[in-house]
């Protein structure tokens, strides 16, 4: 395949990913709504344009158009680019979008012979920069045509084609639901140890937990990085923890299937409660989010 990608969204994740691709020989044409962000990425030697129209003026044959933007902005952007699309172009939605929207969009664009792929990405900013985990939905033919791109973005063996449109976002949605529950368990445990009758050093506990114990994980590692950065008291971290939507989508989907999700529901409820009553447990959760995803402060909860 031709190694050119047209890239929308150059924030934390997007910037890291285009750097990754640029180093692997890809030609990037990038765009972001923020002028400061455009100038920052342009300073890295990556081609960045100042408008949607200018991006499409750079067209050279069939286009692979990658979106790394919040799903709340994607609908408007898709409407904006639709007049510029041509048959055999491909749209890749790599944000955390509801999976049913991916199904609808695939059907919508297929009428114009434009392929739509939904890609869930895990690994945070570090993964985007050095190799992420990709969960891919869409047509198998298009997956195969873009496999080199997916391989270059991911860590070794870090991408998987999952099936028809919507499957990538579905699996990523459940991934994030699991993530909520895992983070909740870690936060509860460290909250309990912080309040114990023993003079426990939580940094020592992170270190020993990370020595191939059953709970060794990247999440505990990131919590340890947070302790190193902010101190065990986490005074600089807000005790209100955000939720971007995927946890709630997982709960709602499970309810539609008649499946109970008690662990995830409790984790989600904790995040909601922290909005009104910040806690040390909330600081622990927010610290993990900050270290892997750059989630600063409190994110508005989206339904």
Report which DSSP code applies to 97.
Answer: -
Closest CA to 219 of 251, 160, 175, 252: 175
Q: Check: CB of residue 274 under 8 Å from CB of residue 240.
A: yes
Tokens at 150, concatenated = 């997916």
> Residue 254: exposed, middle, or buried by beta-carbon count in 10 A (0-12, 13-18, 19+)?
middle
What is the C-alpha separation between 94 and 112, in angstroms, rounded? 21
Active site positions, annotated: 172, 179
What is the C-alpha separation between 285 and 239, in angstroms, rounded? 8
Q: Check: CB of residue 270 under 8 Å from CB of residue 259.
A: no
Q: Check: CB of residue 251 under 8 Å from CB of residue 264.
A: yes
Q: Check: CB of residue 134 under 8 Å from CB of residue 160.
A: yes
Query: Mapping DSSP to helix (H, G, I), strand (E, B) and coil, where does residue 136 land?
Result: strand
What is the C-alpha separation between 250 and 265, in angstroms, rounded? 10
List, in sequence order, the alpha helices (H) in 111-235.
124-130, 140-145, 147-153, 167-194, 202-209, 218-230
Q: Which residue has the tokens 């609808």?
A: 104
């Amino acid at each position: 395949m031709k190694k050119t990608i047209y890239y929308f969204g150059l924030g934390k994740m997007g910037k890291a990913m285009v750097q990754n691709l640029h180093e692997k020989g890809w030609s990037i044409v990038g765009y972001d709504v923020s002028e400061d962000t455009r100038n920052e990425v342009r300073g890295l030697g990556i081609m960045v344009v100042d408008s949607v129209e200018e991006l499409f003026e750079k067209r050279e044959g069939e286009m692979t158009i990658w979106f790394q933007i919040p799903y709340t902005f994607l609908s408007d952007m898709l409407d904006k680019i639709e007049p510029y699309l041509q048959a055999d172009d491909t749209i890749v939605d790599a944000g955390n979008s509801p999976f049913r929207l991916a199904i609808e969009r695939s059907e919508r664009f297929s009428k114009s012979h434009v392929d739509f792929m939904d890609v869930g990405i895990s690994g945070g900013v570090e993964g985007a920069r050095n190799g992420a985990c990709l969960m891919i939905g869409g047509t198998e033919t298009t997956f195969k045509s873009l496999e080199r791109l997916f391989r270059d973005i991911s860590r070794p063996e870090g991408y998987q084609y999952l099936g028809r449109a919507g499957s990538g976002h579905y699996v990523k949605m459940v991934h994030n639901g699991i993530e909520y529950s895992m983070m909740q368990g870690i936060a509860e445990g460290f909250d309990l140890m912080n309040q114990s009758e023993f003079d426990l050093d939580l940094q020592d506990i992170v270190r020993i937990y990370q020595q191939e114990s059953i709970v060794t994980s990247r999440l505990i590692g990131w919590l340890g990085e947070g302790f190193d950065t902010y101190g065990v008291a986490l005074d600089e971290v807000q005790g209100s923890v955000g939720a971007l939507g995927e946890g709630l989508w997982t709960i709602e989907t499970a309810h539609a299937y008649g499946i109970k999700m008690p662990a995830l529901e409790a984790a989600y409820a904790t995040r909601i409660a922290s909005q009104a009553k910040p806690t040390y447990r909330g600081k622990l959760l927010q610290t993990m989010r900050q270290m892997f995803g750059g989630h600063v402060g409190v994110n508005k909860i989206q339904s």
